[in-house]
Structure 1
Amino acid sequence: MYVQDALTLGKLTLNLGIRGDLYRGLSSDSLAEPRAGASYQIKKTNTVVRGSYGRFMVTPYNENLLISSETGEGGLAQHIFGAFGSQPLRPAHRNHFSTGFEQAIGKYFSVEADYFWKFTDPDFDFDVLFNTSLTFPIQWRKSKIDGASIKVNVPDFHGLTAYSVMGHTRARFFGPEIGGLIFNNPEQINSNAPFRIDHDQAFEAVTHLQYQYGKNAPWFGFTWNYQSGEVAGAVPFALNPTTPVNLSNLTADEQLQIGLACGGVVPSLGTPLTSCAPSQLTATRVVIPAPGTENADRNPPRVAPRNTFDVGAGMDNLFRTDHYKANLRFTVVNLTNKDALYNFLSTFSGTHFIPPRSYTAELGFTF
C-alpha cells in the first residue's frame, strides 16, 4: 500500500510519498517506508540541484531460502560441525540518500553529477557450493554502499558531439555472516571486519566523441573505456614477505586465467602451481597486493586496470529519401585487441574475459 504526490512551489518541485510493506515468510516483518525528493531550479545560473531520501524493506532471496535459514550463525559449513543456534534470514531495512546537480554552461556544454549512499541492515548476498550451479542466500550484518557519477556532455558543437561518464562505487559489507554456505573467506565468517564485494570499483569512465559534417554526411565515432578493476577476492596473496603462498585453492585453468606465474614459471593444465615464494608471485591479469599489505577492506586483490577503444563510422539516410531510409554502420570493438579479465570467480557470472577485437557491419532500413 502506498500514497504519493508531487507538488510544485515556484521553482521548487517536491515528490512525497509513503509505502507500507508486510512480509510473512520464514520470518515476519513490517515497515513504513517514507520517500521524499526535491529539486530546485536556479534560473539565473541554469542550475538544478536535487536530493532524495527513501526507506526500503529488502526481502531475502527465495532460492534455497529454507536451507539457508536453518544454518545459523557461521553458516551451514560450521553448523554441521556444531555451530550454536539457528535463525531464519530476516528482511533488511535500507536508508537510501542521494544528492546531485545539473549545470548548463552556455549552449554547448553541460555537467551532471550525483552521489548516493545506501545503508542496509542486514544485507543479502549469494554464495555458490564449490564449482556447482547451486546457490544459497546468505546474510551479512550490514552493508554501506556509496558512489558517485559525473557526466559531461557536449550536445552539438559544429558537428561534434561528445560525452564522458565517470563513476566510483564503494561497496562494503560487514560480518558476521548468518546462514548460507560460504567458502571464499572462511576466517571472516564470524568477524565484524568490513570487506569489499566484487562490484566495488574505484573508478570507471566512458568517453565518446562523434563528428558529422552536415546532416547527410558520414559520421565518425571514437569511444574510450577505462576500468580500474573490480574486487577479485579469490586471488591468492602473501600474508607476509617470508611465508610461501598456498596456490592450491585455484585449479590450473583458474591460474592460467589470471596469468599466474612463480618466478617466471607458469602452470599448465595438467600441472598447477601449488605454492610460491611471496617475492616471486606475479600475475598479468589481476593486481596482487604486495606481501603483508592485503586488506579485505582497504587493499583487496583486484582485476587489473584496462583501457579499451572502439571506433565506428556510418551514414544515416544513405540514399537521402524521405519515407524509406537506409542506414549503414561499421564498428570495431576493442580496437587494440586488449587481453583482459572483466571479473574473476564472481558468484553468479563466474569468470569473464572482455571480448576480443571484433568487426561489425550493419545495414538497416526504416519505413
Structure 2
Amino acid sequence: MRKILAVSLLPALAGVAFAQVNTGELRFQITDSAGLGLKSTIEVSSLGNQFRTTLETDDLGRTVAPRLSYGAYNVTIRHTGFASVSKTLEVRSAVPAVYTVKLAVAPVATVVNVGDEATLVDLGRPSSVMQIGSTEIEQRVTSLPGRSVQDLVNSQPGWLYEGNAVLHPRGSEYQTQFVIDGIPLTDNRSPSFGPEIEADDLDSMSIYTAGIPAEYGRKMGGVVELNTKRNLNPGPHGELSISGGSYDSLQGYGQIQDTWDKNTLGFTASGSMSAHYLNPVVPENYTNRGTTGDFSVRYDRDVTPSDRLVLYVRHELSRFEIPNEMVQQQAGQLQTGGNFETIGTASYQHTFSPDSIGMLSGMVRDNAKDLYSNENSTPMIAFQHNDFREGYVKGTFSFHHGIQEIKAGLESDTTFLHENFNYTVTDPTRFDDSTPRTLSFLGQRPDLEESAFVEDMIRLGKWTVSAGLRYDHYQLLLNQFAFSPRISVGRSIPSLKMVLHGSYDRVFQTPSFENILISSSPQIDELNDDFLRLPVRPSRGNYYEGGMTEGFSDRLRMDVNFYRRDVSNYADDDQLLNTGVSYPIAFRKAVIYGAEGKLELVRLGKLTGYVSYSYMVGNVWYPVTGGLFLGDDADVATSQLNGHFPDSQDQRNTVRTRFQYQLTKRLWAASGLSYGSGLPFEFDGDPSDALAQYGPAVISRINFDRGRILPLLSVNATLGADVYSSDKIKMRLQADGDNLNGRLNVIDFGGLFSGNAIGPGRSFALRLSTSF
C-alpha cells in the first residue's frame, strides 16, 4: 500500500481567528486510506516567524492552527501505527485553508522529511516585520510589574524607552498603538498612563515600523500586534506562574481554558506588587510602590460551519505612588496615581465562500486615570480625575482572487473625554507672581474618528506587492481628513535565500488626547500673563524604508533596514507647570533617519541568540505649531521661528544582544546586554543647583557641555531548568539577574520637577511556571 498525501483547498469549516492583518489559518482533516478520521498529533513550526505549536485532532481527525502570520510553515503529522508525514505549507491568505491528509500504515510507507530551511526567510514578504514567538516570550528576562510587554518590544531594533517604560519607535512621541486580537488601542499604554496586558497572556507578537498595512492608522509611529493565548486542543488546559525578587516584587498569573464540542471558554487572572513600579528621579527610589490586577474571560463558539462568535471581557487596574525628588521627600509629599480599565469586545465572522470572508467587530471601553496629592506636596497640591468611554466598530471583507489577496474595511471610533483637574500652590517661590494660587478645571468633549481602507497583496512570481489606500477623518478640537497611500514591494532571490524590499507609507497621526482639553482651554490663560495657545493639528508624514533579509542555511538570518521619516506638525509633549500633567504640543517638522540591523542565530548546535544595532538621527524644526506655552516658554515659542534641535529620542547608537546555550536536556543559560549612547536633554538651571538636588551620583552621568546623558549599559543573565516534564504537566524554574554591572543608568534628565528617570539597579528575580 502506498502512503497518499492529498492536499486540497476546501471551504472553511469555520471562520479564522479574529486577529491581525497579515494572518491566516490552517485547518486539518486527518484520515486513513479509507477516509476514516484519525486522532493525530500535528506539529506546526516556522523559524522565521518564531512559531512552534503542537495540536491534537479530535476523534474525527480535525483541528485548526489559528492566527498564523503569513509565511512558510513546516507541518509534521503523526499517528501511532501510521507513517508520519512532513510537508512545508505556506499561509498567504486571510481565507482559511483546509488540508485533508491521508495516512498509510507504517510498514510500507516512505517517510518524507522536510527541514526547516524553507521557513527561515519568508520569500513572499514585501516589507520588514519583527516577530516575537512563544519561546522568546516564555524565556524572557523577568520584568518589573506593568512593563513585561514593553520590555519585549524594547528589545527590538528601532525602539527606545523614555521614563516609565514609554515606548518610542524611530523617534516618535506617543505614537504607538497596540492591537490586541485585532482591536486597536491608541492611547499611551505605559505603566504610568494605563495598565498593560501581561506577556504571560500572549502567544506571539508582530511589530511594524514600516510597510504598515493600510488597515492601521491614527497612531503610526509603530504598530504592535498582540496575539493572546488560545489552546484549541480538546479538554481543559491551564497555566500558573509566580515570580518574586528585588524591590519586594511579587507577581502571579493564572489561566484556565476548556474546549468542548464547538465551544472554548477561558479565564485569566494576574496581580503584582513592587517597590519599583515607576522609574525614580533619584537613586534613593523614594515613594515608588505599586500594585496591579487583571481579570479576563473569553468565549468562542463555532455557531455554524461558516460562522464564529468571540466574546471577550477584561478588567485591569493599577495603583502606584509617584516617585519623589529630594525636596519633595523632605517636605513629606505623597502623590498617588491609579489607572482603571474595563474592555468588552465582540466579533462575528462569516465565511461566504472558499475565497471570501467577512468580519464585524466592536469594542466598548471605560478608562480612568487618577492623581492625588497629600497636604505636604510641593510645589503644589494637585488632583486629577480623567476618564473616557470609547466605542469602536470595524467591518472588513477579504477575498482571494488568483494572485491577489484583497481586503477592504470601515471603522469608527468615538471617545467621550472627561477631564477634572485642580491644584493649590504650596511653594509660591517656584512660580511667577501672576500665577494663580488655585485652579479648578472641568471639561468634556467627544473625539470622533472614522476611516476606510482597501489593500491588495499581489504575488507575481518572485515579486510581491502590497498596495493600499486609507481615508481618515478626525474631529476633536479641529476637523480634518486625509488620504494615505501605502505601498511595499519585495523581490525574492531564492538561490540566496534573500528578499530585497522597499516601502513608502503616507501617515496621518492624530494628537494624543491626554489632557488636550485643559491645555486648549482659555481658562488656562490665567496661569501666566505671557502665554501662547495653539490648536494641535494631526501630524502628516512620509515614511521611507529599504532593506533586505537573508538566510544562511537554517542557522542564521540577517535583517538590515535603512529608513527616513519626514513629518510635519511633529508631535511632542510638555508639562503643565510643576504638576507632572502632560499634554500634546507640536513643531513645524521633524526629519528622522537611520539604519537598523539584526543578526539572529536560529540554531548552532546548542546555541541560539541575536545581536542588533540601531543608528538614529532625529532633528525637530521650529516654530511651534500647536500646544500650550507659558512664561519663558511662550517667549521662546513666539520668538524662535527658525533653526532646529535634537529630537528628544535622538539616541544615536543602540546595541542589544542575548544568547542562550542548552547546557543539558533540561538546563539552559542565557546572557545579554543593552547599550545606549544616551539621550539629549535641556537644562536651564545652574549645574550646582542640580548637584544639590540630585547628588553627585546622578550628575556624574550627565554631560552638561554636550547636553547629553552619558551612555547606558545593562548586562543580564538567566539560568533556567525544566524541573518536571510529562505529557500533561510541564514545570519550569528560571532565575534572572538584570543590570549585573551595577551602573547607574540615567534615562532622562531635565531639571527640577521635570520627570527625570533612572533605570533599575542591580536586581534579581525567580520565576516558576507550570502548564497543564
Same fold (TM over 0.5): yes
Q: Which residue of structure 1 lines up, in the alignment, with residue 692 of structure 2?
A: 252
Is residue 88 from structure 1 mapped to residue 88 from structure 2 by the alignment?
Answer: no
Return 153-162 or 174-183, whichever deviates more. 174-183
* Native 8 Å contact 2:658 2:671 kept in 1: yes
Is residue 336 from structure 1 mapped to residue 752 from structure 2 by the alignment?
Answer: no
Is residue 286 from structure 1 mapped to residue 286 from structure 2 by the alignment?
Answer: no
2:495 aligns to what SS in structure 1? helix
Distance of aligned partners of 1:336 and 1:66 in 2 relative to their CA distance in 1, 3 Å threshold = closer
The alpha-carbon deviation at position 124 of structure 1 amounts to 1.9
- Distance in 1, matches of 2:553 and 2:465, equals 27
Superposed CA offset, 1:292-325 (max 9, x none): xxxxxxxx51111132211111112x23423211
Is residue 147 from structure 1 mapped to residue 590 from structure 2 by the alignment?
Answer: no
* Native 8 Å contact 1:172 1:196 kept in 2: yes
Count of aligned pairs: 317
1:189-204 pair list within 5 angstroms: 189=637, 190-204=640-654
Distance of aligned partners of 1:250 and 1:120 in 2 relative to their CA distance in 1, 3 Å threshold = same
Is residue 127 from structure 1 mapped to residue 574 from structure 2 by the alignment?
Answer: yes
Q: Which residue of structure 2 lines up, in the alignment, with residue 278 of structure 1?
A: none
Is residue 172 from structure 1 mapped to residue 619 from structure 2 by the alignment?
Answer: yes
Distance of aligned partners of 1:63 and 1:319 in 2 relative to their CA distance in 1, 3 Å threshold = closer
Superposed CA offset, 1:262-314 (max 9, x none): xxxxxxxxxxxxxxxxxxxxxx111222xxxxxxxxxx511111322111111
Distance of aligned partners of 1:91 and 1:364 in 2 relative to their CA distance in 1, 3 Å threshold = closer
Is residue 309 from structure 1 mapped to residue 758 from structure 2 by the alignment?
Answer: no
2:652 aligns to what SS in structure 1? strand
Of 459, 468, 485, the residue aligned with 1:34 is: 485
The answer for unaligned runs of 5 or more in structure 1 is 237-245, 260-283, 290-299
Of 46, 51, 70, the residue aligned with 2:497 is: 46
Return 147-156 or 175-184, whichever deviates more. 175-184
TM-score by length of 1: 0.77
Distance of aligned partners of 1:327 and 1:195 in 2 relative to their CA distance in 1, 3 Å threshold = same
Q: Which residue of structure 2 lines up, in the alignment, with residue 264 of structure 1?
A: none
The answer for unaligned runs of 5 or more in structure 2 is 1-451
Q: Which residue of structure 1 lines up, in the alignment, with residue 556 of structure 2?
A: 109
Q: Which residue of structure 1 lines up, in the alignment, with residue 765 of structure 2?
A: 360
* Native 8 Å contact 2:573 2:585 kept in 1: yes
Distance of aligned partners of 1:82 and 1:97 in 2 relative to their CA distance in 1, 3 Å threshold = closer
1:252 aligns to what SS in structure 2? helix
* Native 8 Å contact 2:531 2:630 kept in 1: no
Of 212, 223, 230, the residue aligned with 2:672 is: 223
Q: Which residue of structure 2 lines up, in the alignment, with residue 157 of structure 1?
A: 604
Q: Which residue of structure 2 lines up, in the alignment, with residue 15 of structure 1?
A: 466
Distance of aligned partners of 1:160 and 1:3 in 2 relative to their CA distance in 1, 3 Å threshold = same
> Which AA in structure 1 matches 2:621?
F
The alpha-carbon deviation at position 68 of structure 1 amounts to 4.5
- Distance in 2, matches of 1:191 and 1:78, equals 24
The alpha-carbon deviation at position 122 of structure 1 amounts to 1.5
Superposed CA offset, 1:57-104 (max 9, x none): 222333443565578xxx979994487xx7533223111111211011
> Which AA in structure 1 matches 2:586?
Q
- Distance in 2, matches of 1:199 and 1:88, equals 24
The alpha-carbon deviation at position 23 of structure 1 amounts to 2.7
2:628 aligns to what SS in structure 1? coil
Q: Which residue of structure 2 lines up, in the alignment, with residue 232 of structure 1?
A: 681
- Distance in 2, matches of 1:68 and 1:116, equals 34
Larger Rg: 2
- Distance in 1, matches of 2:752 and 2:472, equals 29
Is residue 319 from structure 1 mapped to residue 720 from structure 2 by the alignment?
Answer: no
Distance of aligned partners of 1:136 and 1:222 in 2 relative to their CA distance in 1, 3 Å threshold = closer
> Which AA in structure 2 matches 1:234?
F
The alpha-carbon deviation at position 230 of structure 1 amounts to 1.1
1:65-76 pair list within 5 angstroms: 65-66=516-517, 68-69=519-520
- Distance in 2, matches of 1:186 and 1:140, equals 14
1:39 aligns to what SS in structure 2? strand
Is residue 137 from structure 1 mapped to residue 584 from structure 2 by the alignment?
Answer: yes
> Which AA in structure 2 matches 1:218?
L
- Distance in 2, matches of 1:150 and 1:349, equals 34
The alpha-carbon deviation at position 249 of structure 1 amounts to 7.1
1:44 aligns to what SS in structure 2? helix
Distance of aligned partners of 1:99 and 1:135 in 2 relative to their CA distance in 1, 3 Å threshold = same
Superposed CA offset, 1:104-144 (max 9, x none): 12332221012222211122211112321233322211111
* Native 8 Å contact 1:127 1:182 kept in 2: no
Superposed CA offset, 1:14-67 (max 9, x none): 111111122333333221111111111111111111111111222233344356
Distance of aligned partners of 1:363 and 1:175 in 2 relative to their CA distance in 1, 3 Å threshold = same
TM-score by length of 2: 0.38
1:180 aligns to what SS in structure 2? strand
- Distance in 1, matches of 2:531 and 2:603, equals 67
State the percentage of identical aligned residues: 26
Superposed CA offset, 1:131-176 (max 9, x none): 2123332221111122322101111111011210111222211111
* Native 8 Å contact 1:52 1:97 kept in 2: yes
Superposed CA offset, 1:212-251 (max 9, x none): 145x231111112211111122276xxxxxxxxx448758
> Which AA in structure 1 matches 2:692?
A
How well do the aligned residues superpose, as a CA RMSD in angstroms? 3.0
> Which AA in structure 2 matches 1:217?
R
The alpha-carbon deviation at position 209 of structure 1 amounts to 1.6
* Native 8 Å contact 2:698 2:744 kept in 1: no
